[in-house]
């Protein structure tokens, strides 16, 4: 799965050994031996752990508790910059495709606001963590309806967009992972963990091209505030935050009558 980094499957208790064995077969990964990372299964579901000395704790997807629970309750509603970027205004809740879903956090925020958010994730380990988090969210009364608005497809987003079946999304959201050009001490744990495994989205310009062809109304690209745009095509406008910005490429205006009710 990675030419540079080795990964094994661990069961954190014997209770989960059979499930870990099955996943090892599915992903063609070993159940023992030296490795750089471990995909672990325990009481809290699947998680990815770096095995180096002084490594940070594991990464898992949790839509029920933790930071996302706080964001769901106190996140700022439709006044959030991401909500403005995708066109949430009044009762308008556009149909969104998050073509670079990652751990699903931005999709969850938009689904909390009532949007239907189809997700695409191409890396199998990231998709596994995301499916695991969604499954647990669907079992919780506080998050079940939100998770139900977040269907996940696994595969190459460019190919899926180019061969899209059915009604196109009104808004396509992109948050591509780019190779870092500047060193920073404030790299999040998830970035430190996934960067070696997933790498950069070197096809980000093609992602934007395919997204702009498919989206009926707009494409939104999330970028670090000072990062370059992902292609020579200039955005229609930008929304600037302290650390990030949203490049918005518009095709037509979202209107009330086009609302898809949550």
Annotated binding site for S-adenosyl-L-methionine: 105-106, 121-122, 175
192 phi, psi to nearest 5 deg: -60, -35
Give the residue numbers of the binding site.
105-106, 121-122, 175
Beta strands per DSSP E along the chain: 7-11, 37-42, 45-50, 96-98, 117-121, 152-154, 171-174, 218-224, 237-240, 244-250
Contacts with 224 (C-beta within 8 Å, 6 or more apart), sequence order:
243, 244, 245
Contacts with 74 (C-beta within 8 Å, 6 or more apart), sequence order:
none
Question: Do residues 41 and 15 make contact, with C-beta atoms less than 8 angstroms apart?
Answer: no
Question: Do residues 239 and 88 make contact, with C-beta atoms less than 8 angstroms apart?
Answer: no
Q: In whole angstroms, give the CA distance from residue 128 to residue 7.
A: 14
Sign of the four-CA dihedral 178, 184, 186, 188? positive
Q: In whole angstroms, give the CA distance from residue 37 to residue 68.
A: 25
Residue 206: which of 170, 240, 242, 156 has the closest Cα?
A: 156
């Amino acid at each position: 799965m990675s030419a540079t980094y080795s990964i094994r499957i661990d069961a954190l208790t014997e209770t989960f050994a059979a499930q870990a064995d099955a996943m090892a077969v599915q992903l063609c990964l070993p159940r023992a031996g030296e490795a750089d990372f471990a995909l672990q299964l325990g009481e809290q579901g699947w998680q990815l752990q770096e095995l180096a000395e002084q490594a940070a704790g594991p990464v898992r997807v949790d839509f029920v508790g933790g930071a996302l629970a706080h964001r769901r309750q106190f996140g700022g509603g439709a006044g959030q910059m991401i909500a403005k970027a995708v066109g949430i205004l009044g009762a308008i809740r556009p149909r969104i495709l998050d073509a670079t879903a990652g751990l699903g956090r931005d999709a969850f925020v938009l689904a909390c606001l009532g949007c239907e958010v189809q997700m695409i994730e191409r890396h199998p380990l990231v998709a596994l963590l995301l499916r695991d988090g969604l499954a647990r969210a669907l079992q919780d009364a506080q998050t079940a309806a939100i998770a139900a608005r977040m269907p996940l497809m696994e595969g190459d987003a460019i190919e899926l967009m180019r061969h899209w079946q059915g009604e196109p999304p009104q808004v396509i959201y992109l948050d591509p992972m780019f190779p870092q050009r500047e060193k920073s001490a404030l790299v999040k744990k998830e970035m430190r963990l996934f960067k070696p495994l997933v790498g950069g989205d070197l096809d980000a310009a093609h992602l934007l091209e395919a997204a702009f062809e498919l989206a009926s109304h707009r494409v939104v690209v999330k970028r670090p505030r000072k990062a370059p745009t992902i292609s020579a095509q200039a955005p229609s406008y930008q929304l600037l935050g302290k650390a990030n910005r949203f490049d918005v490429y518009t095709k037509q205006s979202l209107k009330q009558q086009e609302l898809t009710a949550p």
